[in-house]
C-alpha cells in the first residue's frame, strides 16, 4: 500500500504527462470496446434477421441461396413454386401459419415483396419481436403498399404517397415501369435493423394485378382493377410456423421429397450459421483490429514511460540515497504503469459510453445496430483484464532500466 501511495503521488507530480498518457489509453480502450461491440452485436443482429420461423421453403437449390433471396432479398430464385403446392403444404397437419413471398419487382433500387397480411401478423425478428408500424397500417386494398423504415426515410415517403413499381430489378434501364398501376403508401414499418427496412411490401393480388397485360403496347388501365381473379399462379418462397418444433424434421423430409415439384425446406438458424461461416473473414478482421488497437495503447504507454525515465534519474537517485532498494525502485515504476493502465481503462469505459450515448440513435436509425451500454460479455472483461496485465508487463522494461541506471550511477547506499 505504501508503494501504491508513493506511485500515486509520483503520478500527481507529473500530472500533465500522466493525463495525456491516460487519455491515449482511454481512447484506445474506447476504440477496443467499440470494435468488439460492433463485432459481437453485428453477428447478433445478423442472427436476429429472422426469428420464430421453423422452415423456409423454396425451389430446390442451396440452403444459403434460398436464405439470401427469401430473407435478405439478395439474388434470385432458380425457379418459382406453384400456388397449388404452397396451399397443399400450408394445409398439412402441424402447420400453424404460412407466409408466401413473391419477388421479382423493385422500386428505385429496393426490392418489392408480394405477400399477405399474415406477414405482419406472424413474421418475427430479434428474439421473436413482431413488426410494428410507425405510421399507417397494413395494406387493405390491391394497390396499397407498406414501406420499410429505410425506404420511407431515404425516399421521403409518407402515408398516402404514390409510387411506381418497376418490373425486375431496374438495372441498366432494361426494366419497365408499371406506371399505369401506381401503389399508394398505406403504412410505414418501425425500424428493425433487418432487410425488412429495405423492402416495399404489397399484396399478392397487387403483384398479379400489375402484371396483367403489363408488356403489351395497348393496356387498359382498368383491366387489373376490374379483374375478379387475382389468385397468384406461382410464388418465390414461403415461411412456415409449426405447432411443435418436433415436427420440423419430419415436415422438412416430406417437403424435400415432394413429388409434384422439386422443393427445398431449410432451417433458418442452420442456414444463417452457414452464411456467417462464409463471412468469418470479416469477423476475424475486426478481431485483428481490436488487437492492433490494444497493442497501440501499450506501445504508447511504453514510449511515454521510457521518455520520462531519463528525466527521472535524479528522482531515482534521491530514492536510492534515502535507502530505497533496487526492488523498491522497480516496484514503484511497475505500480505507476499499472495505475496508469487501470485509470486509462476506467476513463476509456466512460468515454465509450458517452460516445455511444450520442451515436446510438443514429446507429439504430441508419444501420439498425443497437449497441448496449456497459460490458455484457465475458470476452470484453477478459480483454480489459488482458490489457491491464499487458500494462503491468510493459512497466517491467522501464523498471529494469531504472534498476540498471541506479547501479550505473553508483547510487547504492553506503553503510
In contact, 135 and 159? CB cutoff 8 Å = yes
- If you search the block for the grid coordinates 386494398, which residue do you land on? 141
pLDDT tens series, the chain, 415 aa: 566 776 777 777 777 777 888 888 888 888 888 887 877 777 777 777 888 899 999 999 999 999 999 999 988 898 999 999 999 999 999 999 999 999 989 999 899 999 999 999 999 987 788 999 999 999 999 999 999 999 999 999 999 999 999 987 765 445 578 888 899 999 999 988 889 999 999 999 999 998 876 554 344 444 444 444 688 999 999 999 999 888 999 999 999 999 999 999 999 989 988 888 777 777 777 778 777 877 887 887 888 777 777 666 666 666 666 666 667 777 777 888 888 889 889 998 898 888 888 887 777 666 666 676 766 677 788 888 888 898 888 888 887 777 666 555 544 444 4
Per-residue exposure over 153-187, b if at least 16 CB sit within 10 Å of its own CB, e if not = eebebebeeebebbbebbeeeeeeebeebebebbb
| pLDDT for 405 | 66
> Can you give the residue ranges of every domain in the chain?
2-46+280-408, 55-266
- Which burial class, exposed, middle or buried, applies to 7 when counting CB atoms under 10 A from its CB (0-12, 13-18, 19+)? buried
Residues paired with residue 263 on neighbouring β-strands, in sequence order: 59
User: How far apart (Å, rounded) are the C-alpha atoms in residues 297 and 289?
Assistant: 13
Residue 75's nearest CA partner among 85, 55, 86, 61 is: 61
Q: What H or E segment, with its residue span, contains residue 311?
A: none
Please give the radius of gyration of the chain, using alpha carbons only, rounded to the nearest integer.
31
Helix (H, G, I), strand (E, B) or coil at 267: coil
HSE-CB for 37 with a 13 A CA cutoff: 21
Rounded distance, CA 156 to CA 93, Å? Answer: 44
- Where would I find the H helices in 14-117? 15-47, 63-70, 83-90
Amino acid at each position: 500500500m505504501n508503494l501504491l501511495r508513493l506511485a500515486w503521488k509520483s503520478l500527481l507530480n507529473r500530472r500533465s504527462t500522466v493525463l495525456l498518457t491516460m487519455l491515449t489509453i482511454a481512447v484506445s480502450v474506447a476504440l477496443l470496446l467499440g470494435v468488439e461491440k460492433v463485432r459481437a452485436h453485428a453477428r447478433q443482429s445478423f442472427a436476429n434477421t429472422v426469428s420464430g420461423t421453423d422452415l423456409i421453403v423454396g425451389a430446390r437449390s442451396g440452403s444459403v441461396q434460398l436464405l439470401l433471396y427469401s430473407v435478405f432479398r439478395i439474388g434470385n430464385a432458380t425457379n418459382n413454386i406453384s400456388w397449388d403446392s404452397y396451399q397443399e403444404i400450408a394445409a398439412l397437419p402441424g402447420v400453424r401459419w404460412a407466409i408466401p413471398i413473391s419477388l421479382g419487382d423493385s422500386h428505385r433500387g429496393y426490392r418489392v415483396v408480394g405477400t399477405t397480411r399474415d406477414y405482419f401478423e406472424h413474421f418475427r425478428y430479434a428474439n421473436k419481436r413482431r413488426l410494428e408500424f410507425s405510421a399507417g397500417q397494413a395494406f387493405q386494398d390491391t394497390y396499397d403498399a407498406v414501406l420499410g423504415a429505410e425506404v420511407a426515410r431515404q425516399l421521403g415517403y409518407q402515408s398516402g404517397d404514390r409510387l411506381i413499381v418497376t418490373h425486375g430489378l431496374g438495372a441498366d434501364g432494361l426494366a419497365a415501369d408499371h406506371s399505369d398501376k401506381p401503389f399508394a403508401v398505406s403504412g410505414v414499418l418501425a425500424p428493425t435493423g433487418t432487410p425488412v427496412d429495405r423492402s416495399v411490401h404489397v399484396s399478392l393480388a397487387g403483384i398479379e394485378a400489375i402484371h396483367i397485360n403489363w408488356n403489351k403496347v395497348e393496356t387498359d388501365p382498368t383491366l387489373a382493377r376490374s379483374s375478379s381473379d387475382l389468385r397468384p399462379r406461382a410464388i418465390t418462397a414461403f415461411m412456415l410456423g409449426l405447432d411443435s418444433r418436433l415436427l420440423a424434421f419430419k415436415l422438412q423430409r416430406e417437403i424435400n421429397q415432394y413429388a409434384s415439384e422439386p422443393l427445398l425446406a431449410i432451417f433458418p438458424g442452420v442456414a444463417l450459421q452457414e452464411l456467417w461461416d462464409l463471412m468469418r473473414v470479416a469477423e476475424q478482421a475486426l478481431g485483428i483490429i481490436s488487437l492492433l488497437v490494444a497493442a497501440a495503447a501499450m506501445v504508447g504507454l511504453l514510449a511515454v514511460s521510457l521518455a520520462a525515465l531519463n528525466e527521472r534519474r535524479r528522482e531515482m537517485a534521491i530514492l536510492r540515497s534515502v535507502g530505497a532498494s533496487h526492488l523498491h525502485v522497480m516496484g514503484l515504476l511497475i505500480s505507476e504503469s499499472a495505475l496508469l493502465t487501470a485509470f486509462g481503462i476506467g476513463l476509456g469505459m466512460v468515454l465509450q459510453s458517452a460516445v455511444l450515448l450520442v451515436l446510438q440513435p443514429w446507429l439504430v436509425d441508419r444501420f439498425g445496430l443497437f449497441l448496449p451500454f456497459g460490458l455484457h460479455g465475458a470476452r470484453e472483461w477478459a480483454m480489459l483484464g488482458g490489457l491491464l496485465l499487458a500494462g503491468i508487463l510493459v512497466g517491467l522494461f522501464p523498471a529494469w532500466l531504472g534498476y540498471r541506471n541506479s547501479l550505473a550511477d553508483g547510487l547504492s547506499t553506503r553503510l
